Structure 1
């Protein structure tokens, strides 16, 4: 087996190699719902507008080139019985329970007809869901990530993408978190060990 060459970077030669792009990318939009993008939402972000606009650009490029677009949302039973200890650790997740007021689990951007919406209960969109089989069936080898939050569901999903044999590409401009510091530090760590963190322009060039 040929080991990949380490790429010198801010983390030293032991980290920050590149997984690169394969032949068949898909865009996965993680939990971009009203709970995060509305200012009074339970997970309201300080300035989600740029990430939403960047996500729209990624989706448009993928659709125009015939690449898959997959969405994820968090949903729970009305009594949160399927939320395990996660809903105990993060009580605000109750906003995603069936019948909860506010419509906070509604997607901020509309999926096109036929685009899968994967329902999950935990941070990683791969854990206990159909995401990996859906991507494999479409012949996908590279997953382009957008959505929220960088330190939570984006990070967990990107790590599991690598674990599942996909090439994870996290688009810096298309993700957001509760502070710029949390966003940047998690992107730096993802780029060092688990994914390639790329700018919007690079992602668009590959998708087109």
Structure 2
């Protein structure tokens, strides 16, 4: 619990429910491969940790869901977001490079939903909440990129939609360690539980 100037005002726990699902946020080649417009300084550990989460969920029969960002030719559905972040043009349907493809060796299996989104949150303007609710999911185990952007927005909206967000520290990454750590600290204080990989794996397998 918080011991700062606000006492115990923050850092309560939402905990784990009975039916977790793994949600992999935007872990695509644009963040992981040289030349990618959003290349991270060290994406390898997050990719490996996400792979472990996905494997554990599959082995236990837990749902695995993925998100990607995709825009129509000419970015007509990108709104002001593509103006604010011009590099998002790499995710247009006519863009070269294949930067919007899921980062190897990760790969969705047949039957695993791939949610297409245009904005930061995996829930905004998508069918994700309905898909999770219909599957009986109560806990969303969040992995992917970036911690300060789409991971944060998706975890925050997961809480708003009545799910228990569990953000896995080792399975997320950002442009710097400082951004990563600061956003995990704030998420853990207000919008989600930040958990370690070992605990998340144990929960998925139980």
TM-score by length of 1: 0.95
CA distance in 1, matches of 2:33, 2:180: 18
Paired residues in the alignment total 202
Give the structure 2 partner of residue 116 of structure 1. Answer: 113
CA distance in 1, matches of 2:32, 2:48: 12
Residues 109-188 of structure 1: pairs in structure 2 closer than 5 A? 109-188=106-185
The structure 1 segments of at least 4 consecutive aligned residues displaced by more than 6 Å after TM superposition are none
Q: Deviations over 1:153-203 (max 9, x none)?
A: 000000000000000000000000000000000000000000000000010
The gaps in structure 1 that reach 5 residues or longer are 1-6
The gaps in structure 2 that reach 5 residues or longer are none
Counterpart among 38, 43, 57 of residue 43 in structure 1: 38
CA distance in 2, matches of 1:70, 1:26: 8
CA distance in 1, matches of 2:33, 2:184: 23
Q: Deviations over 1:8-45 (max 9, x none)?
A: 45673110000000000000000000000112100000
Counterpart among 6, 21, 30 of residue 26 in structure 1: 21
Confirm or deny that 1:189 pairs with 2:186.
yes
When the two chains are superposed, the root-mean-square deviation of aligned CA atoms in Å is 0.9
Q: Deviations over 1:114-157 (max 9, x none)?
A: 10000000000000001000100110000000000000000000
Residue 99 of structure 1: how far off its partner (Å):
1.2
Counterpart among 59, 65, 71 of residue 76 in structure 1: 71
